[in-house]
Amino acid sequence: MLWQKLYKWVDDRVQLRTLVEFLGKKYVPVHRHSVWYYFGGVSLFLFIIQVVTGILLLLYYKGSEELAFESIQFIMAKVPFGWLIRSIHSWAANLFILTAMVHMFSVYFEKAYRKPREITWLTGMLMFFLAMGFGFSGYLLPWNELAFFATKVGTDIAGVIPVIGKPIMIFLRGGEDVTGATLSRFFGFHVAVLPGIFTVLLGIHLLLVQRQGMSEPLGMENSPPAEKKTMPFFPNFLLRDLLLWLIVLNLLAILAVFFPWELGVKADPFASAPAGIKPEWYFMFMFQTLKYIPAQIWVIDGEILGVGVFSIAGLLWTLIPFWDKKSARGEQNRFINYIGLFAVIYIIILTTLGWLS
């Protein structure tokens, strides 16, 4: 058959057999929490979708104050299937952050960050922050009213950080205000800087996952090998991954057709901000928290306190493999579960409140 001939042709040159044998010997643990393993793969799939649709959008998008909005309008109305590509890009971006978030929390609750997977966790967390950066920078690119003011509010918040806040804000905006200069650099971050760093981190992350295999839940490690259920990574797990990817692809198509991503009205820097400016949903819990914090707490500015607390919490969360010694020793750590549970409930409640307000 043609397929076998082609395989042999490649195998003769690059020894594909070795790779297939390696993958064939790689096993994925099977247990009642195995379902969470798939979220990493789905996130990867959505990232690939982002790259492909992003490159297609780049063929027509023009990153300038005068042309950005009109170029998206052109993509949506004139470019064949432009509407589909843009809507999929927008929907996949949101689903990507959602699945990455689920993946992060599943890893957290499974304590999969413990030795020897600290670097995998670190690269994953950095990628998660970069994904939020992708979202923040990409949101401005259509240069519409909502995006313009949301970026203004978002960068204003960065500006409240003492000492370094103002320079960061000016660096992000390319000046004192959100202007065409902000759009240009956000475009640069979105299509060059962030993807470059992300690709390196993703390479390390995937390499480590392949090298170290999937983490087993605490307690399962010590079970006798006979009692451990596993499944070959190739082809069983990979085929299941593919099946899920197909379903996600179909979901994306449905979302793009029934809920095409709106473009809104072109940003007017001289207009007053419309009512109800809200950030993207993944920033909502932080934004809503800042709204609830009083303007002044003792001698500290409320906003600075809020930003400070979130920064410290984010840092502690990222560095968890280094301070959760109990899990590293293979012992159960309920404290970590309670923190995680609190974080999940907090995010859900504050996001809902922000959505309703």
Partner 1 sequence: MRRFALLGFVTFAAVLSFAGLAVAQDKCLTCHETIEDKPSTLYKHDIHFLKGISCAACHGGDSKSEEIEEAMDPAKGYIGVPTGDAISQRCATCHSDPEKMKSYKSTLLTGQWEALQESVHGKLAISGKEKIGQCTTCHGAHGIVSAKNPASPVYPLKVVKTCATCHADASFMRLYNPSLAVDQLDKYRTSVHGARNAKGDANVAECASCHGSHDIRPVKDAKSSVYPTNVPQTCATCHSNTEYMKAYNIPTDQFEKFTTSVHGKALLEKKDLGAPACNSCHGNHGAVPPGISSISKVCGTCHALNADLFSTSPHKKAFDDRKLPECETCHSNHAIVAATNELLGVTKEAVCSRCHSSTENIKGFAVAQTMRSLIEELETSVAHASTLVDEAEQKGMEVGEAKFKLRDARQARLQSRTMVHSFDEEQFREIVDKGLNTATTVAGEADEAIAEYFFRRIGLGIATLIITLLAFSLYWYIRRLERHQSKAG
Q: At 28, is the secondary structure helix, strand, or coil?
A: strand
77 or 164: whose CB is closer to partner 1? 77
Contact status: 194 vs partner 1 (CB under 8 A): no
Among residues 18, 250, 337, 357, which is the contact residue for partner 1, using CB under 8 A? 250
177 or 262: whose CB is closer to partner 1? 262
Binding residues for partner 1, rule CB under 8 A, total: 23
Contact status: 212 vs partner 1 (CB under 8 A): no
265 sits in which H/E element: none
Contact status: 48 vs partner 1 (CB under 8 A): no
247 to each of 25, 40, 253, 340, how far by Cα in Å? 27, 15, 10, 29
Query: In this structure, how many other beta carbons lie within 10 angstroms of the beta carbon of residue 171?
Result: 13
Which DSSP state fits 144? B
162 to each of 61, 134, 159, 231, 304, how far by Cα in Å? 36, 25, 8, 52, 7
Contact status: 228 vs partner 1 (CB under 8 A): no
Tokens of 6: 């082609």
Among residues 260, 308, 314, 340, which is the contact residue for partner 1, using CB under 8 A? 260
Among residues 19, 242, 300, 309, which is the contact residue for partner 1, using CB under 8 A? 242
190 to each of 131, 138, 177, 198, 310, how far by Cα in Å? 10, 6, 19, 11, 24
Contact status: 333 vs partner 1 (CB under 8 A): no
Among residues 48, 181, 239, 273, which is the contact residue for partner 1, using CB under 8 A? 239
- We find the least distance from the C-beta atom of residue 50 to partner 1, in angstroms, to be 19
CA dihedral 285, 43, 102, 133 (to 10 degrees): -20
Residue 301 pairs in a beta bridge with 296
22 or 259: whose CB is closer to partner 1? 259
Contact status: 253 vs partner 1 (CB under 8 A): yes
Binding site for partner 1 (CB under 8 A): 73, 76-77, 83-84, 232, 235-236, 239-240, 242-243, 246-247, 249-250, 253-254, 257, 259-260, 262-263
